[in-house]
Amino acid sequence: PTTGRPIAGPGQVVRKGETVGVLQVGPCLRAVLAPVDGVLGAALVEDGAVVGYGTPLYELV
């Protein structure tokens, strides 16, 4: 997460439990895990945006 490169991007096949992103919560970083197998779609929020609990971050098809 400290490289500045995306972990996963649109069109990428992901498996349930695979890390698809990282959230910063205060000083801590938390992995965002795919809830199901699928193909990652478009990001629904901008990088660096403040989001609330439960906010969808990506489309997953």
Q: Which of 39, 42, 44 is nearest to 55 (CA)?
A: 44
Is 2 inside any structural domain?
no
Enclosing domain of residue 50: 13-60
Considering its fold, how many domains does the chain have in total?
A: 1
pTM: 0.78
Is 7 inside any structural domain?
no
Cα torsion 31, 36, 40, 42: sign: negative
Percentage of the chain modeled with pLDDT above 90: 52
Residue 1 clears pLDDT 60, i.e. is over it: no
Is 51 inside any structural domain?
yes
Is 4 inside any structural domain?
no
Is 36 inside any structural domain?
yes
Is 6 inside any structural domain?
no
Residue type, 5: R
